[in-house]
Structure 1
Amino acid sequence: MRIAFVSYETVFHRDTETNRRLQSILEFLADRGHDVHCFCTQFWDGHLDRLERDGITYRGVSVGPEARHSFHLRLPFVLATARPDIVHAGAEPPTQVLAARAGATLARAPLVVEWYGDGGVDDGRWTRLAAGGPDRIVTPSELVATWVRERGADGAVVDTVPNPIDVDRIRDVPPGNAVDVIYARRLDDGANLESLLLGLAELRDRNWSATVVGDGPERAAYEQLATDLRIDDRLSFAGELSLEERIAAYRGAHVFAQTAEHCVFPTEMLWALASGCVGVVEYHTDSSAHELVEGWDRGFRTTSEEELAEAILAAGDLEHREYDETFAEYDEGAVTDRYLERYRRLRDDQGLW
């Protein structure tokens, strides 16, 4: 299958959650042997308008990130000449969705839009026009799906496909040191680590240990808060760790706590839950983390520091695990299959195969 991805900006331009998500899809499909092309602004040196890398063909529609106007003008015709079976476009900027729609129409191919929603979904005119055009919209969570429907998308064409994890990799990493509670995130102004620290302070008369994974501009403030709460002797700040180091830490931990106020998909929490952790989530309206634990017997949803402390206590009664097969459906292979299934269904519905 020839799949044409459209992304004005790629992970090679800027490392963001949205761009990493799209790059993962490109790589998974290329690994399956599909003919994968990414139409983007040129990020490589030289005069050639294409670059072959790791089984993916990157095609420079325009040169330089400031060349947005020429990108949109040229994209429909470049897509049409590529004769793709599927056009799969990122939602940012929304104007590129409209250009991709024109190119998909010329190529007689269905249009899928990847709407990740990192940074929210605005309510502008171009966003609403983009929401009404695709044959299928893919979001990482019900939270983002709701945002997109509120911008005018037909609910019947909106699907949720989660971020993937590598289940085999989890099984291959030996468990790390035992710890009762673990937290992992960049320690910036959105981390909301104070909720966990206040919850743990409620349990200072209990015997527990906790680890915070991650670094960032608010780390010193959080370390000071732990000292002020008199829990710093049982709380360690591990800093940034590699993925394998984090997996080892999760396999050794009992509870993973998620308290961030904004999260379109809790990828790090998913790694931890698949590594056997019990999930304790503080609910926030702009976070989808609670979706992973709803209806699951090893998950707790809380709304206050007191409830968070109670959930951590209750989690102590559950068995310790180093792997949970419940989350095998989030494996890279299973997620790739979900994309391929949607592509084939769209082609069948349009009578193109």
Structure 2
Amino acid sequence: MRVAFVSFETASHRDTETNHRFQTALELLASHGHDVHCYCAKFWAGETSTLEQDGITYHAVVAGLEARRSFLVRLPFVLAAAAPDIVHTRAQPSAAVLAASCGATLARAPLVVEWYGDGGIDDDQWTQLAAKRGARLVTPSELVATWVRERGADGELVEAIPNPVDLERVQDVPLGEQVDVIYARRLDEAANLESLLLALAELRDRDWQTTVIGDGPERATYERLASDLRIDDRVSFVGDCSLEERIAAYRGAHVFAQTAEHCVFPTEMLWALASGCVGIVEYHVDSSAHELVEGWDRGFRTTSEAELADAILSAGDLEHRTFDDRFADYDRSAVAEAYLEQYRTLEEAYGLL
């Protein structure tokens, strides 16, 4: 299958959560033997207008990110000439969706639009127009699906496909140090680590140890709070860690606590749950994390520090695990198949099979 991905900005331009999500989709399709092309602004050196990398062919529609208008003008004709089976575009910038839609029409190919929403989704006229384009709209969670419907999308066309994890990799990583509770996220203004620290302070008469993974502008503030609450001797701030180090830590931990106020998909929590952790989520209106634990006997949803403390105590009665096959549907192979199933359905609908 020949798939034309459209991403004006890529993970090679800027390492953001949204860019990484889209890059993962390219890599999943390429790893399954499909003919994957990405039409983007150029990010590589040299005179060549294409770059072959990791089974993906990148095409420079324009020379750099400063040429957005030229990208929008050229894109429909570039896609028409490429003759792909599927056109798969990012939802941002919104104008690129409209250009990709024109290109898909010229190429007589179905259009898939990928909505992610890291940092939120605008509600302006361009976004509303973009929400009405595409034969299939892909989101990472029901939370983002709701946002897209609120912008005018046809709910029948929206499909949630999660971020993937690698279950084989989880099982291959040796166990890390045993701790009772673990937290992992960039420590910024939305981290809301104070909820966990306040809950732990209520349990200071119990025997527990906690690890906080991640760094950021609010780290010093959280370290001071732990000291003020007199629990700093049992809370270890270890800073940024590699994925291998994080998986090892999750496999050694008993509980993963998710308290962030904004999260379109809790990828780090998913790694932890697949590594055997019990999941405790503090509910927030702009977070989808609760979706992972709903209806699961090793998951807790809380709305306050008191409930969070109670959940930590209740989690202590559950067995310690180092792997959980319940999350097989989130493995890279399963997520790749979810994308391919959408493509096949569209090809059949368009009479291309």
Q: What interval of TM-score do these two structures reach, taking the shorter chain for normalisation?
A: over 0.9
What's the CA shift string for 1:129-159, capped at 9, x where partnerless? Answer: 1000100000000000000000000000000
Q: Give the distance between the partners of 1:275 and 1:47, measured in 2 at CA.
A: 45
The corresponding residue for 2:330 is: 330
Aligned to 1:272: 272
Q: Hey, what does 1:286 align to over in structure 2? A: 286
Structure 2 residue aligned with 1:235:
235
Partner of 2:6: 6
| Counterpart amino acid of residue 220 in structure 1 | A
Give the aligned partner of residue 39 of structure 1: 39
Amino acid at match of 2:203: L
Alignment map for 1:106-255 (pairs within 5 Å): 106-255=106-255
Q: CA deviation at 1:293?
A: 0.3
Counterpart of 1:98 in structure 2 is 98
Aligned to 1:340: 340
CA deviations 1:324-344 (Å, max 9, x no partner) are: 010111000000000001000
Q: Deviations over 1:71-99 (max 9, x none)?
A: 00000000000000000000000100000
1:62 corresponds to which residue? 62
Look up the SS of the partner of 1:189 in the other structure: coil
Aligned partner of 1:81 in structure 2 is 81
Deviation per CA, 1:40-95: give whole Å up to 9, x if none.
Answer: 01111222211111111100111110101110000000000000000000000010
* Structure 2 counterpart of 1:328, one-letter code: A
- Cα shift at 1:27: 1.0
**Counterpart of 2:233 in 1: which secondary structure?**
helix
Matched residues in 2 for 1:203 and 1:145: separation? 37
How well do the aligned residues superpose, as a CA RMSD in angstroms? 0.6
Aligned to 2:21: 21
SS at match of 1:45: coil
Deviation string 1:193-217 (CA, Å, 9 cap, x unpaired) is 0000000000001111111011111
What do the CA deviations read for 1:298-332 (whole angstroms, capped 9, x no partner)?
A: 00000000000000000000111000010111000
Shift in Å, 1:126: 0.6
> Could you report, residue by residue, the CA deviation over 1:189-238 in whole angstroms, capped at 9, with x for unpaired residues?
11110000000000001111111011111111111110100101111111
* Aligned residue type for 1:24: T
Q: Aligned partner of 1:249: which letter?
A: A
SS of structure 2 residue aligned to 1:143: helix
Whole-angstrom CA distance in 2 between matches of 1:121 and 1:142: 14
Where does the alignment leave 5 or more consecutive residues of structure 1 unmatched?
Answer: none
